[in-house]
Amino acid sequence: EVQLVESGGGLVQAGGSLRLSCALSGFTFDDYAIGWFRQAPGKEREGISCINNPDGSTYHADSVRGRFTIASDNAKNTVSLQMNSLKPEDTAVYYCAATLEPMIIAATMDPDDYDYWGQGTQVTVSS
């Protein structure tokens, strides 16, 4: 059974940091690209970062580039998202997702291209 489980969300003040983790099981980790998405109340789901496990290439959306960093630990089958300099507008439910699509597709961050999803973890940034 394919499972993605996010952890690490919480409440933080603006300017602070959080590290999200996505634990993956039930499939061949090295074959997939893993993406992080977020969804704020009343807004569409936004793709913010992805990593292609076959070659380690990464993508970060403009909204988080320079503040967020995605990384993969193949030995532990986990993908992390280090979030620094957090802003109130980063408040959302954060999801990790997996796709077999090549990086050129995965990096477009279209949720429809991702096959497996976690349940989400809440991140709240207070001003």
pLDDT digit string (tens) for 33-67?
Answer: 999 999 999 999 999 999 998 899 999 999 999 99
Residue matched to tokens 């394919």:
2
Residue-level pLDDT at 110: 96
Residue-level pLDDT at 27: 84
Beta strands across the sheet bearing 18-25: 3-7, 18-25, 78-83, 68-73
Residue-level pLDDT at 105: 92
Query: Are the C-beta atoms of 110 and 99 separated by less than 8 Å?
Result: no
Residues of the chain with pLDDT under 70: none
| Long-range Cβ pairs for the range 41-49 (8 Å, 24+) | 43/92, 45/95, 45/111, 46/92, 46/109, 47/108, 47/109, 47/110, 47/111, 48/109, 49/81
